[in-house]
Structure 1
């Protein structure tokens, strides 16, 4: 008997007017699974529930929610050997989109039931773990405002980007890579990509892999307003690396120094860090349920 615990963000479920209890009861075989469903009550609760689930002997822990919930639940699981699953219910769903996991509850639960797994890389910023993507600069600025916004989804996110882009000033960064290379650059933002996705099917690192033991570090200069249509087109075509405003460097580790303590976007969650950031890869450290049909890892 496999002990499976679902940790669900009830706000995400309420926003989509959905319930998971009936489809879980219908699609998961109780001869195979001992099933428990827990609901988050506050920010950070998912991480606590995940740790308690591990201590309670769970074989599989499933995050039901958006990127923030996924990151919270995954954090304590990394390196334990416990299997991690995702039922995407958020706005961006970056990791789920990379893995081609459907937002349809029944389809994602079918994958959970099938238990096809693989080991993937995870990353950390100053020992704060993340699974999909982190970022500094404009990316983090938008994440901070989006977290405070009552308007969710792509339209809410896009509205903040449009309102803030022209007035946001690029920042200076000093990057030192594990091979000794150093870069001093003024940038709109820098993304540290494990998966290829920001979310919303926006691919910032088209060649990123979850199993190559490397991060794709995307350094983005601020373009002029008249350059934005061509950049949007490259994003849609998944060829953003062709833009003269984008430089992508693969690395196992990078140290980033900023002038001030500022917010970092950690899988969609804005968190304030020290000026100096150590970002590194943790190879093949999370056992995750994938879509065996069309999953790109």
Structure 2
């Protein structure tokens, strides 16, 4: 490995990235040529694609959370770029699922190592997702969180109660998958490629990021007891509360536009989503 492009999200996780950058520069001194790309939230995907084309890296090194990993994957998708992760986000669900170490030095060893996993990609809404996307109450929470100056898990916590008080859930949805269409009311419909949200909450006990399938998870009602069970890691959820459908593609329709998010990034409101899985489309360094 001769060239590494480090993609840094300066605001993710409420963590100062400058010491991390300096430590990575020190650890990689004279070993590889290091280029740093700092996200701004304005035209990042186009600028990152241009930087990849100009610099020609052997690997993308992500310093951020699920949204920053998504950005790296989207920019490097067509070039089959290899990705390493230093989990430094408000949400690190994908890194948690892949057992990426939390220690910076250990995570860097993994991120630049030779052990790579080919993971599935979800093509969705003219974008891609690697982790968990959803329409409904969690996307509402992410929309509110994105407007808050307080980052990290505490920021999510501060926005939870106002979101619950303002939500108009449940919503009317239809889900078409495996040649069947279901009609129902739900607080949220998730398109999952792995097990956990970035907060550590197990949402998809059947999830496996390289099995060539996605799980459609229908949360039917705002049931506080079952929500607390989910947060606590209790995965045997009542079928009256949640339903899971395994598939390779899905169309989700809502009666009216509802908040929608991909891997922790709010994508506005929509009433129609089509998603399909592309098996083994991205390589990520793992322990």
**Which residue in the other structure is 1:23 paired with?**
23
Q: CA deviation at 1:102?
A: 2.6
Counterparts in 2 of 1:28 and 1:5: CA distance versus 1, 3 Å: same
User: Is the CA contact 2:12–2:151 (under 8 Å) kept in the aligned structure 1?
Assistant: no
User: Is the CA contact 2:132–2:194 (under 8 Å) kept in the aligned structure 1?
Assistant: yes
1:239 and 2:238 correspond: no
User: Is the CA contact 1:121–1:281 (under 8 Å) kept in the aligned structure 2?
Assistant: yes
Task: Report the more deviating stretch, 235-244 or 214-223.
Answer: 235-244
Flag structure 1 segments of 5+ consecutive residues without an equivalent: 292-297
Cα offsets for 1:176-229 (capped at 9, x unmatched): 11x2111001100011111112111111001201101111111001134xxx23
Q: CA deviation at 1:123?
A: 0.5
Mapped to 2, the partners of 1:4 and 1:49 lie a distance apart of: 16
2:246 to 240, 245, 250: 250
1:26-37 equivalent positions in 2, closer than 5 A: 26-28=26-28, 30-31=30-31, 33-37=32-36
Q: CA deviation at 1:172?
A: 0.5
Counterparts in 2 of 1:175 and 1:190: CA distance versus 1, 3 Å: same
**Aligned with 1:85: secondary structure?**
strand
Counterparts in 2 of 1:91 and 1:285: CA distance versus 1, 3 Å: same
**Which residue in the other structure is 1:263 paired with?**
259
TM-score by length of 1: 0.88
Counterparts in 2 of 1:132 and 1:44: CA distance versus 1, 3 Å: farther
Task: Report the more deviating stretch, 196-205 or 267-276.
Answer: 267-276
Q: CA deviation at 1:103?
A: 3.2
Q: CA deviation at 1:133?
A: 1.0
**Aligned with 2:250: secondary structure?**
strand
Counterparts in 2 of 1:106 and 1:188: CA distance versus 1, 3 Å: same
1:147 and 2:142 correspond: no
Mapped to 1, the partners of 2:25 and 2:260 lie a distance apart of: 39
**Which residue in the other structure is 2:92 paired with?**
93
Counterparts in 2 of 1:229 and 1:280: CA distance versus 1, 3 Å: same
Mapped to 2, the partners of 1:26 and 1:220 lie a distance apart of: 47
How big is the alpha-carbon RMSD for the aligned residues of Structure 1 and Structure 2?
Answer: 2.0
**Which residue in the other structure is 2:125 paired with?**
126
Number of equivalenced pairs: 284
**Aligned with 2:257: secondary structure?**
coil
Mapped to 1, the partners of 2:149 and 2:269 lie a distance apart of: 25
TM-score by length of 2: 0.91
